[in-house]
Amino acid sequence: MSSNRYLKFLANISKNKPNSIKNKKTPCPFCNREGLTGIIDEEGPFILIKNKFPTLENTFQTVLIETSSCDVDITMYDEEYMRNLLRFGVRHWIDMEKSGDFKSVIFYKNHGPYSGGSINHAHMQIVGLKSIDYKESLKDEYFEGIVINETDECVVNISTKPKVDFTEFNIIINNIDNLDILADNIQKIVHYILNDFYVKCSSFNLFFYDWKGKIICKVIPRFITSPLFIGFSISQITNQTDEIVKQVQELYFKSEA
d(CA 35, CA 164): 38
Work out the average pLDDT over 85-105.
98
Whole-number CA gyration radius for the chain: 18
- Give the DSSP H/E element, type plus range, for residue 46: strand 46-50
Q: Decide yes or no: CATH 3.30.1370.100 for domain 138-256.
A: no
Give the pTM: 0.94
C-alpha pair distances (Å), 187 with each of 79, 107, 192, 229, 255: 9, 17, 9, 28, 16
- Beta partners for residue 150, in sequence order: 155
Cβ–Cβ contacts within 10 Å for residue 236, how many?
Answer: 12
pLDDT score for 28: 86
Task: Please name the fold of domain 11-135.
Answer: HIT family, subunit A (3.30.428)
- Each residue of 191-214: pLDDT tens digit? 999 999 999 999 999 999 999 999
**What's the pLDDT band for 4 if we cut at 50, 70, 90?**
low
Ordered by start, the domain boundaries in the chain are 11-135, 138-256
Topology match between the domains 11-135 and 138-256:
yes
C-alpha pair distances (Å), 31 with each of 65, 112, 185: 9, 18, 28
